[in-house]
Amino acid sequence: MPSTPEFNPALVNWNGHHGLPRFEALHDGDFAAAFDAALASHETEIDAIAANAEAPTFENTIVALEIAGDELSRVSALFWNRAGAHTNDVIQALEREISPNMSRHYSKIGTNAGLFARIDTLWEKRAELGLTLEQTRVLERHWKGFVKSGAKLPKPEQEKLAGINEKLAGLGTNFGQNVLADEKSWSLLLSEGPELEGLPDFLKDAMAAAARERGEDGKFAVTLSRSIIEPFLTFSERRDLREQAFKAWTARGANAGATDNRGIIKETLALRKEMAGLLGYGNFAKLKLDNTMAKKPVAVDELLRAVWAKAVSRAREEEADIARLIAEDGKNHEVMPWDWRFYAEKIRAQKFNFSETELKPYLQLEKIIEACFDVANRLFGIRAVEKKGITAYHPDVRVFEIRDASDKLVALFLGDYFARSSKRSGAWMSSFQSQHKLKLRNGNTGELPIIYNVCNFAKPAEGKPALLSLDDARTLFHEFGHALHGMLSNVTYPSVSGTGVSRDFVELPSQLYEHWLTVPAILKQYAVHFETGEPMPQALLDKVLAARTFNAGFNTVEFTSSAIVDMEFHTRDAVDDPMVVQAEVLAALGMPKSLVMRHASPHFQHIFSGGYSAGYYSYMWSEVLDADAFAAFEETGDAFNREMAAKLKDNIYSTGGSLDPEDAYRGFRGKLPSPDAMLVKKGLATFKELSGSDA
């Protein structure tokens, strides 16, 4: 690719290890000029496609669009990685500027009349073009994308839609930055002694490290990172401190002042409603679900409400157990949200005779990473080779080559595992480069997928291993499942590569992969004590497996309430006060006072800055699929059955969006699933109950 003299060529000429960017050559100040040049270059390419004097063909229009904007893709990939995983004031200021600029740029493309005329011509005569199934899917994606960008609207309405998209981009950026600011600015500094009562060593080590990062040597910091706040709420004997920390955690984005997100939510929902109306949809949920497996809000509502009824019933039973334990402790307070994790852990220890502190020494980050790679090798025949000494975007980031059985390089994988104040919370997968087979303007044919995972595990003290909770270990497997979706992709066109699938299908490969964490053969090999190297005792392993559905009511209520609120926000005619609507919805559901949404609206980044608007349900939709999919392996008696693994790879992990998701799933399983296997997996029902049989 020719370098552009106006900006740092290292942003677009990636000539590091196997085409990795040379991160050491990049600087925060490089991005503004690079975006200016890359946006202009992409616009020139688009204009050339639209103005082509030749009759439109799939090659000169759709393929040309697929490979256009390569410089912009590269600059964007580097910038958004930095904005999410290692940000600072300079990057955040530019993010607030770039987000609306990018929206304006793509709105202009989406309403380019000459370009849409070419795409529309191809769409109208698609049956005559002799297209492959993948090409038809790619054409459909472009055509629908242009229609949803307003290509068929009159000019004034196109301009209005472009303005809405631009405003929404800025609001989403501000929302995410506000949450991060609240997370960074709050910590609860504790001292050695009674304030640490009940806290296990692994947590105290993590809190000490967090305090040192804040310049408070000798102190212990409770932060709002899940890797610290959740175990603190689980183990701290100090109810007053649990309450203080819990209220700070759940108040993110709702603290008044400059970082308050409540006004942003109201404006965002109004703009989304207006957008849906311009495009001919009754509400924003109908717009978002138009190209998904669910298709209509009513299908989502039916699933969520059915699960809610079972989940809240179970949660009431769990709450009663906690209330009894509080009374047995000689206390008379009601069950509050900052009590639940603390007493649930005690109940788990009683029921299953083990605690998180007993389990955690067997869950070393390093070993769980090895387990992730081993499962991929057993299922898909690939292996990971770590390459030391390669500079990534942060010193903590590790670089791996992913190779197949013939030692062919199939992907690069970067793992970024530890929490830091420059990283937004949560865990995610993304890519610097996606797999495809097209010939590019720089002369290269196809590209190697370069995929990365970001997590927020507590960083251990120097010389000590990072120890995970079982939930942390599941998160690691989950995100690596997403990574495999990108790394095993085997398609021709970039727009349908890897995770380029409908929102309610994208979580299938990740959630399915979680199942292999608790396959006994994997736990026996990789759940080894960090000091002795001894495998987890069989008795403890049996208890862990028996306890998989413990606290199922709590976990499902947390999630489902968030998903229902999301759908209510995006199906109502108007939302005058989002917090009132949230309260009304939870009251109508019968939300227990002792529980809260997993993501209260002011910090619900999935739906207000993360692309899951009217789509948070998709985790549960995919869970219906993943429970049924893993049952396919269980039915063979072999969690690594080669025939099923080959079908899984060929129909799910490698096809990206080149197939309709229903067709892809049928290709693997031979049928579409019912929710039954998911309800049983979550421990909310038995097959006997669901069938109504007394047999």
User: For residues 99 and 609, what is the distance between their CA atoms, to the nearest angstrom?
Assistant: 11
**Same domain flag for 226 and 89:** no
Q: Is residue 407 part of a domain?
A: yes
**Same domain flag for 105 and 208:** no
Token pair 């600059």 is found at 75
**Same domain flag for 145 and 191:** no
Q: Is residue 260 part of a domain?
A: no
Structure tokens at 526: 């990789």
**Same domain flag for 384 and 514:** yes
**Same domain flag for 393 and 542:** yes
What is the per-residue DSSP string for 76-113?
Answer: HHHHHHHHHHS--HHHHHHHHHHHHHHHHHHHHHHT-H
User: Rounded to the nearest 10 degrees, what angle do helices 89-110 and 31-50 cross at?
Assistant: 10
**Same domain flag for 120 and 227:** no
- What amino acid is encoded at 175 in this protein? F
**Same domain flag for 423 and 476:** yes
**Same domain flag for 125 and 196:** no
Structure confidence at residue 3 (pLDDT): 46
- What amino acid is encoded at 560 in this protein? T
User: For residues 422 and 439, what is the distance between their CA atoms, to the nearest angstrom?
Assistant: 37
Phi–psi pair at 407, nearest 5 degrees:
75, 15
Q: Is residue 291 part of a domain?
A: no
Please name the residues in contact with 350: beta carbons below 8 A apart, sequence gap of 6 or more.
Answer: none
User: For residues 114 and 48, what is the distance between their CA atoms, to the nearest angstrom?
Assistant: 10
- Closest of 411, 572, 606 to residue 503, by C-alpha: 606
Catalytic residue among 45, 95, 479, 568: 479
**Same domain flag for 501 and 413:** yes
Structure confidence at residue 354 (pLDDT): 86
What CATH number is attached to the domain comprising 386?
1.10.1370.40
Q: Is residue 532 part of a domain?
A: yes
Q: Is residue 681 part of a domain?
A: no
Q: Is residue 521 part of a domain?
A: yes
User: For residues 169 and 262, what is the distance between their CA atoms, to the nearest angstrom?
Assistant: 16
What is the per-residue DSSP string for 187-244?
Answer: -EEE-SSGGGTT--HHHHHHHHHHHHHTT-TT-EEE-SSHHHHHHHHHH-S-HHHHHH
**Same domain flag for 528 and 419:** yes
**Same domain flag for 139 and 195:** no
Q: Which of 203, 234, 251 is the last residue of a domain?
A: 251
What CATH number is attached to the domain comprising 21?
1.20.1050.40
- Hey, CA dihedral for 376, 381, 387, 390, is it positive or negative? negative
- Number of domains making up the chain: 3
Q: Is residue 341 part of a domain?
A: no
- What amino acid is encoded at 77 in this protein? A
159 catalytic per annotation: no
- Closest of 518, 516, 515, 522 to residue 543, by C-alpha: 518
Structure confidence at residue 692 (pLDDT): 66
What is the per-residue DSSP string for 598-640?
Answer: SS-GGG-HHHHTSS-TTTTTHHHHHHHHHHHHHHHHHHHT-TT
Q: Which of 194, 223, 251 is the last residue of a domain?
A: 251
Q: Is residue 265 part of a domain?
A: no
Mean pLDDT of successive 10-residue segments in the chain (695 residues)?
Answer: 68 97 97 96 97 98 97 98 97 96 96 98 97 98 96 96 96 97 96 97 94 94 94 97 98 96 97 97 96 94 95 97 96 96 95 90 97 98 97 98 98 97 94 97 92 95 92 97 98 98 95 97 96 95 92 97 98 94 97 97 96 96 96 97 98 97 96 92 84 53
Which pTM value belongs to this model? 0.93
Q: Which of 513, 546, 579 is the last residue of a domain?
A: 546
Q: What angle do CA 646, 548, 378 make, to 5 degrees?
A: 25
**Same domain flag for 215 and 116:** no
- Domain extent, residue 52, equals 9-110+112-152
